[in-house]
């Protein structure tokens, strides 16, 4: 086993952060539709989280925001003329499409890709597949920049493989690491990769939600496992409970999170809880570790409270001393049932013995918590040295990014501002400077 660390690549909230409420099935996002947002505060809250976790010894990096608005999308849909003309006509004739072009959803970098570390893959390289996110118009083109960014950060082909996204068709709906986790005795050890899906496209008789869409298919998860060269004996596929999808659990990471050999999950997370746990236990026995299942009963935390507080959309992190910390948003403390449960959890003598709390209000109102904001990438020491170093969170990088945010980000954005060509100019200028700060010239196609 090689020494390895898990890097959390947190999405840096972009300068056009806004609440468009575009994600049907994401209750928090939908509830805040057309509210005024504060991009500056959102970015600073995210940077403060990255800085503190890095200071605590966790490996932390930044995933740059995507360029907005998406003029390519608008022009493909028939809006022409100058950039100002395009924005004005779209605002007048198709404000929902305009909102899609300004979508802030790339901040959810758990959806950027699925990642398999080198300890699990047949060729011994780290594999990435950018998610096609084809369930929603406002996300369906994110994979273009996600693939470009991953290839810029992980350019060494001897150590990294960045695959093309899966075909953008319903059969291969893929939402990335929000429906994927990994269990292992250590980050550098061979592990078990766990894929959770919401529907089976080619089997209409399989369980499926009735109210909200299932965004991840079994077929997509199986394709990624093949692309990444995973061992079938160490790969587990499980069906999400369709009833909780219809209660606003749009991804598995809203109802379960795993780390090391621990699965922290709600009793209603899976369509067949017993068989899912049995499959994980058998696979994990094959890599010499036992599953520690931390089950949260509905009587302790109803699904509605789990969704409202984003309890399971917290980060579960291994500390150097062997313990585990759960990174939670303030909303967990403000929800009575969740607060009571967490107090009992950390004093129970179980594997999760610390809570780390952050104010992520701007992100939470857009429909995601701490786990949505980060992409987990387990890297050996040599692999970490081979990736682009300019995105690793340090005090020096933090000291550059905070004034950059303060120079370029507005503190108030309303729906009407999406028609403002000056906002588009400001966003482009911000990203041009960010390329220089991160040492990534040409990261964006801003032509």
State yes or no: is 251 an active-site residue. Answer: yes
State yes or no: is 332 an active-site residue. Answer: no
CA-based nearest residue to 265, from 306, 237, 305, 236: 306
Q: Is the peptide bond before 140 cis (omega within 30 degrees of 0)?
A: no
Rg (CA), the chain: 21
CA-based nearest residue to 46, from 114, 107, 105: 107
CA atoms of 12 and 253, how far apart (whole Å): 20
State yes or no: is 127 an active-site residue. Answer: no
CA atoms of 189 and 80, how far apart (whole Å): 53
Burial class (CB in 10 A: 0-12, 13-18, 19+), 193: buried
User: What does the block give as tokens for 444?
Assistant: 């964006």
CA atoms of 22 and 34, how far apart (whole Å): 10
> Which of 141, 142, 175, 201 does the annotation list as catalytic?
175
The backbone torsions φ and ψ at residue 189, rounded to the nearest 5 degrees and listed phi first, read -90, 160
* Alpha carbon distances (Å) from 135 to 44, 115, 418, 443: 30, 20, 23, 26
User: What does the block give as tokens for 11?
Assistant: 């999405």
Answer for the pair 108, 146: CB distance below 8 angstroms, yes or no: no
Q: What does the DSSP assignment read for 315-384?
A: EEEE-TTS-EEEEEEHHHHHSHHHHHHHHHHHTTTSSEEEEEEE--HHHHTTT--TTTTEEEEEEEHHHH
* Alpha carbon distances (Å) from 194 to 164, 252, 335: 21, 11, 29
User: What does the block give as tokens for 259?
Assistant: 């780390």
> Which of 251, 266, 408, 427 does the annotation list as catalytic?
251
Q: What angle (nearest 5°) sits at the alpha carbon of residue 406, between those of residues 49 and 84? A: 115
Q: Point out the annotated binding site for substrate.
A: 20-29, 111, 138-139, 215, 253, 366
DSSP state of 395: H
Query: Coil, helix or strand for 135?
Result: coil
For residue 140, what are the contacts with CB-CB under 8 A and spacing of at least 6?
Answer: 132, 133, 134, 168
Other beta carbons within 10 angstroms of residue 215's beta carbon come to: 30
CA-based nearest residue to 139, from 70, 202, 81, 201: 70
The backbone torsions φ and ψ at residue 208, rounded to the nearest 5 degrees and listed phi first, read -155, 150
> Which of 372, 383, 408, 427 does the annotation list as catalytic?
372
The residues annotated with a catalytic role in the active site are 175, 251, 372
């Amino acid at each position: 086993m090689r020494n390895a660390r898990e890097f959390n690549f947190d999405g840096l909230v972009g300068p056009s952060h806004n609440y468009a409420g575009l994600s049907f099935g994401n209750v928090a996002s939908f509830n805040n539709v057309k509210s005024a947002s504060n991009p500056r505060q959102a970015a600073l809250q995210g940077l403060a989280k990255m800085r503190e976790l890095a200071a605590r010894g966790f490996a932390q990096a930044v995933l740059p925001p995507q360029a907005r608005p998406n003029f390519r999308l608008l022009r493909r849909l028939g809006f022409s003329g100058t950039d100002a003309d395009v924005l004005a006509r779209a605002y007048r004739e198709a404000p929902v499409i305009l909102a899609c072009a300004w979508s802030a959803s790339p901040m959810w970098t758990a959806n950027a890709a699925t990642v398999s570390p080198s300890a699990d893959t047949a060729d011994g390289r780290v594999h990435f597949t950018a998610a096609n996110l084809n369930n929603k118009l406002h996300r369906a083109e994110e994979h273009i920049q996600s693939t470009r960014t991953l290839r810029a950060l992980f350019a060494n082909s001897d150590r990294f493989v960045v695959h093309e996204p899966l075909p953008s068709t319903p059969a291969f709906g893929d939402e990335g690491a929000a429906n994927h986790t990994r269990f292992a005795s250590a980050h550098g050890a061979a592990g078990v990769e766990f894929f959770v899906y919401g529907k089976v496209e080619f089997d209409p008789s399989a369980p499926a939600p009735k109210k909200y869409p299932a965004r991840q298919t079994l077929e997509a998860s199986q394709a990624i496992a093949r692309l990444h060269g995973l061992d079938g004996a160490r790969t587990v596929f499980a069906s999400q409970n369709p009833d909780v999808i219809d209660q606003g659990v749009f991804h598995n990471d809203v109802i379960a999170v795993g780390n090391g050999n621990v699965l922290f999950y709600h009793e209603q997370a899976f369509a067949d809880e017993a068989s899912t746990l049995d499959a994980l236990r058998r696979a994990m026995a094959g890599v010499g570790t036992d599953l520690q299942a931390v089950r949260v009963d509905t009587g302790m935390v109803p699904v509605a409270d789990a969704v409202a507080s984003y309890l399971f959309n917290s980060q579960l992190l291994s500390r150097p001393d062997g313990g585990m910390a759960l990174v939670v948003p303030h909303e967990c403390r403000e929800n009575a049932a969740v607060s009571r449960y967490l107090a009992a959890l950390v004093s129970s003598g179980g594997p999760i013995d610390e809570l780390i709390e952050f104010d992520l209000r701007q992100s939470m109102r857009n429909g995601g918590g701490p786990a949505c904001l980060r992409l987990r990438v387990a890297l050996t020491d040599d692999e970490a040295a081979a990736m682009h170093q300019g995105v690793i969170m340090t005090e020096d990088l933090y000291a550059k990014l905070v004034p950059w945010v303060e120079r370029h980000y507005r503190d108030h954005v309303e729906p009407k501002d999406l028609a403002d060509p000056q906002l588009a100019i400001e966003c482009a200028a911000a990203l041009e400077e960010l390329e220089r700060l991160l040492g990534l010239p040409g990261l964006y196609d801003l032509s």
